[in-house]
Structures are given as C-alpha cells and as structure tokens.
Homo-oligomer: A and B are copies of this chain.
Amino acid sequence: MITPNEIVIKMVLNAWASHIKQADSLINKLTDEELARQVAPGKNTGVYLLGHLTAVHDGMIPLLGLGDPFFPQLDDVFVKEADNSGLPFPPIQELRKFWIAVSRSLDDHFALMKPEVWFMKHNAVSDEDFTKEPHRNRLNIVVNRTNHLAWHLGQLALLKK
C-alpha cells in the first residue's frame, strides 16, 4: 500500500521528470546555431538559458545535502550575471555535456532518496525557520525548481523552427 507521503513524492517527482524529459528532447533538437540565438529580440540566448538551468540544477545538489556541485564555476557566468555580462561562456558542446551530467546525477540521487528524507529541511533554511515553516523541505526545492525549469523551457521552445 502506497502511503500518502509516497503519493505526494510521486506527484512532485513525476512533474520534475516530465520537464527534464521535455528539456532533454528540446535541447537535443536544437542545433548549436539555434541555441546561440536570442529567444526573442534583445532577450536571453538559448545557450545562456542552458547554462543557467544547468547551474541552478547543479546548485540543488548541495541544497539537498547530496554533496558538492559539479560545475560551481557556472554560477558566476549564468546565475550571478546576465547574458550580456561579457564573461566568456564554455563551448555549447561542453554545456550540453554538463546539462546531461547534472540531470543524470539528480536522477540517481532522487531514485535512492528515502521518503522521510524529502520532508527534512534543505540547506538554505535555518533550524529555527524550519520549525515555523516545515513546508520549506527538500521536496519543496523540487517543486520550485520544476516551475523554474518550466518558465525557461517555455522560452527555449521559442527557438524551435
């Protein structure tokens, strides 16, 4: 018998997995030339968004207590700075590999996570705040990051012909 907590974890992880799958498919379809374009005139490029999503997802690893991020150097370029910072980007082919490495690592971690661990506090909330706001748990990070991913996927999808 599936417990209520397991039902909820399944809801959240299904939504995450479905968006990662859409992202994988979209990124694979887009050529390097298409990714280098702006999603709309004067807006972020596809390559910036790919770097941004990779960096933000990589940041989930320490936030969820799963270890060190793989590519902390992406933070300066793709999170702290906007697309037009002038900072050099890694080659798109590298970024594609980074995206896959981070996605697969999160997949592996999520598959092994015990139900009760999802309801523990994440590493950006204090013990005191967590006592008052127990919804700021690890599963909530996945809820919020799925929405963040959907937001930018809607933009990346505009690069399709």
Contacts and interface: CB of A to CB of B under 8 A. Distances in A.
A10 interface: yes
A8 B7 CA distance: 11
Interface string A126-161: 000000001101011001101110111111001000
Contacts of A139: 8, 11
A105 interface: no
Interface string A3-17: 011011011101100
A15 B15 CA distance: 14
A143 B19 contact: no
Interface in A90-141: 119, 134-135, 137, 139-140
B15 A134 contact: no
A66 interface: no
A87 interface: no
Interface of A: 2, 4-5, 7-8, 10-12, 14-15, 19, 39-41, 43, 119, 134-135, 137, 139-140, 143-144, 146-148, 150-155, 158
Given A11-B140, A14-B135, A151-B151, 11 more contacts: A7-B135, A8-B8, A8-B139, A11-B137, A39-B158, A43-B158, A147-B147, A150-B154, A151-B153, A152-B154, A154-B154
